[in-house]
Amino acid sequence: MSGNIKLLSDTLAAAKAEGRSALIAYLPAGFPTVDGGIEAAKAVFDGGADVVEIGLPHSDPVLDGPVIQTADDIALRGGVKIADVMRTVREAHEATGKPVLVMTYWNPIDRYGIERFTAELAEAGGAGCILPDLPVQESATWREHAGKHGLATVFVVAPSSKDARLADITAAGSGFVYAASLMGVTGTRESVGEQAQDLVRRTKATTELPVCVGLGVSNAEQAAEVAQFADGVIVGSAFVKLMLTADGDVTAGLDGIRALAGELAEGVRKRA
């Protein structure tokens, strides 16, 4: 079975054709439970997200800030497995028909097996993988298997990336490019700032792929700001924080993230 890279590309192209950015939501698998995480993914789609990234919880994340680390800890203590991540992808995609990716550090895939992981992700209806810590120069085997299974390989670029390095990264990637708008870890910010706009400009000079901005966006105003220059707006910590502050009331958490997704969806549609 082939994965859904085409669905991802078509979804991003459709948003562009509407004259807006796509809204991309991030949620970790297994949080607050496996079933709760599946319902959370459906809820952000219901609220207006175009794409969802499902995080594979990791015990030693290098990119994730305290909010997502806390959710990952809860998921790991709950015994979340890669099979649960695949189930989350499958059920979120089957319920909505929309593109679902996995965001993961490299070590779990390396241990699990590249062929096994890509085959199972494609079979689950996944659209691809975001790999924040896989060096491009070491990615050939992954990209071969991902390509064979119809999966996007999304690499992360940062403000520190030099122009030549950006060109190497974007040439190897597919689906879209994840632009980390700030140096540091994930989390909500007061302002996303000019650094993100400069990074998007430099990245777009190297590729025809959509460039989507993450790290820091938490409200409709910031989403509208980023939507003026990015092809997609990625929001994670703000959703996870709502589930955390619901303090076990899953229904309230789901209502909160559905409402936030609606506000953000309006934000990415605002014209300058």
Distances (CA, A) of 206 to 13, 166, 172, 176, 269: 18, 7, 11, 12, 26
pLDDT (0 to 100) of residue 111: 96
Q: Please give the model's pTM, rounded to 2 decimal places.
A: 0.94
Tokens 């990336």 found at? 161
pLDDT tens for 38-79 read 999 999 999 999 999 999 998 876 666 788 889 999 999 999
Per-residue confidence at 185, pLDDT binned at 50, 70, 90?
very low
Please report the pLDDT score of residue 181 as a whole number: 76
Mean pLDDT computed over 146-171? 96
Please say if the pLDDT value at position 6 is more than 60.
Answer: yes
Active site residues: 53, 64
**pLDDT tens, residue by residue, 10-19:** 999 999 999 9
- pLDDT score of 191 more than 60: no
pLDDT, mean of residues 128-133: 96
